[in-house]
Amino acid sequence: MAVAEKAKRNVQRKRKPKLMAVINEACTGCSGAPICITECPVDLCMYEVKNPHAPVFNLVVVDPLLCIGCNKCVTKGPMDTLLEGCPWDAIDMIPLEEYEEKYGVMPY
């Protein structure tokens, strides 16, 4: 992702997206090199946390206030690989209505 494009998207969204990315239990953290984070166009939207079940590994988390539902984390891979999105199928794109039913209404 170009630095210039990332720089455009470093503030909270003003409108709700149609889809939200949610990381599921299959996330491995990609051994410390999470490709999803490099493909997300929104600065700081995806970030790593310690895996509570295996603290030597990380998991990725999506900030719901920053996700724009663009699908890039599930469709894009590094330019020099044949990967398309998460190799572990660990990212669920959930319709906003379903997301809000499960996690609560978004505050904007």
Q: State which residue, 58 or 104, has the beta carbon closest to ligand SF4.
A: 58
Looking at residues 20 to 79 of the shown chain, list those that interact with ligand SF4 (rule: CB under 6 A).
Answer: 21, 23, 27-30, 34-36, 40, 42, 45-46, 60, 62, 67-73
Distance between CA atoms of residues 54 and 95, nearest Å:
30
Distance between CA atoms of residues 49 and 1, nearest Å:
22
DSSP 23-61: E-TT--GGGG--HHHHH-SSTTTEEEEE-TTSTTSEEEE
Contacting range for ligand SF4; rule: CB under 6 A; set: 49-57, 83-91, 98-106:
83-91
* Shortest distance, position 105 Cβ to ligand SF4, whole Å: 18
Residue 78, amino acid: P
Q: State which residue, 88 or 101, has the beta carbon closest to ligand SF4.
A: 88
* Shortest distance, position 101 Cβ to ligand SF4, whole Å: 19
